[in-house]
Amino acid sequence: MLRDLGFLGQMGVIATNSGREWHANAPEPFGPYYLHELINKGGLCEIWTATDEEGRHFALRRMHKMAKNGLFRKSPELKSFRNGCEILQAVHDHPFVIDYLKHGTINKTPYMLMDYVEGNNLKQLIGRHDSILAEFLGNILIDMAEALDHVHDAGYMHLDFKPENVLVTRNGDIRLCDFDLAQPRPVKPTRLKTNAGTPAYMAPEQMLNEPLDHRADIYAFGVTAYEILTFRPPFDGNTPDEVLRKKTKANGSIVPPRDFNDDIPIALQRIVMKCLEHDPDKRYVVTTQLVKELHKALYV
């Protein structure tokens, strides 16, 4: 597999804190587990490094303690959390998807136990222009596409594919995670009840709450690949509405990646731009095609 692409080799490395926090006191007991290091924290959930009584290491994702008071018992947030657990349980048997172990509740707090992967998410690596992106670019692009292809073949759409949900190990291996917004893959484009997601990575049809299918993930892959290659988004804006306005314009509003670095292979640029087509019918029909084209473009 291609390990080094020179067109990224000259981009600088900027050191940064990973954002993790060590637990100030003794490890916090949580049922049969002990929580050690806070890896990430969002609006409703947090992820910890954890061990069990036998000293085995895991990643433990749980809803914040406020869930104990019952506020989220019937909430959309709790439904999404459980949805993510169940779909990951169905699709985790793949080398580029985070490994699911179990989920349930402890002291009325929903949690999910996963394999612990040492590394950073792709958002962190892009933010500091990390050299690992040049060293393992071929791996990262192809493996992300293969992870999506597996999810689609298993009958689901991720619908929140973005750099923050792609973990990258020190060896350049990736793990796709966070399936809270994932949905069954429809036979034909279908309008969802909600259009939740991250606006910068959502396909136009997803942002407009129009019928969609797995090709929305292909669009999100294109946005992510564009950021890896250029360290900037294809669309920027201060608000979701501003991003939407730019996305709904003709494709000519996207500056080709080679305009920022003409060492990017023309074939790779063509793939990224095809993923970013406004009209889903002009994108790849299935992710398997995307994987094959990436192999050809990167000589892998």
- Tens digits of residue pLDDT in 39-72: 888 778 899 999 999 999 999 999 986 544 555 5
Q: Give the span between the Cα atoms of 34 and 155, in whole angstroms.
A: 35
Q: Is residue 273 part of a domain?
A: yes
- For residues 57 and 125, membership in a common domain is answered with no
Domains in the chain, number: 2
Residue 214 has pLDDT above 50, yes or no: yes
- Active-site hit among 99, 130, 143, 160: 160
> What's residue 299's pLDDT?
80
- CATH number for the domain spanning 49: value is 3.30.200.20
Residue 170 lies in a domain: yes
**For residues 190-200, average pLDDT:** 87
- Do 4 and 135 form a contact (C-beta atoms < 8 A)? yes
Token pair of 83 as six digits: 């949805």
Among 114, 145, 172, where does a domain finish?
Answer: 114
pLDDT of residue 27: 85
According to the model, what pLDDT value does residue 239 have?
75
- Same domain? For 92 and 126 the reply is no
In a domain, 62, yes or no: yes
Can you give the residue range of the structural domain that contains 203? 119-297
How does residue 13 score in pLDDT terms, banded at 50, 70 and 90? very low
Per-residue CA distances from 91 to 5, 32, 62, 155, 218 (Å): 31, 26, 20, 9, 18
- Phi/psi class of residue 55: alpha, beta or left (left: φ > 0; alpha: ψ in -120 to 50)? left
The residue among 114, 140, 172 that closes a domain is 114
The yes-or-no answer on residue 160 being catalytic is yes
How many Cα atoms are found within 13 Å in the side-chain-facing hemisphere of 49? 15
Answer whether residue 21 shows pLDDT above 90: no
Residue ending a domain, among 47, 81, 114, is 114
Q: What is the mean pLDDT of residues 163-190?
A: 96
pTM as predicted: 0.87
Tell me which of 208 and 26 has the higher pLDDT. Answer: 208
Quick one: 85 and 165 in the same domain?
no
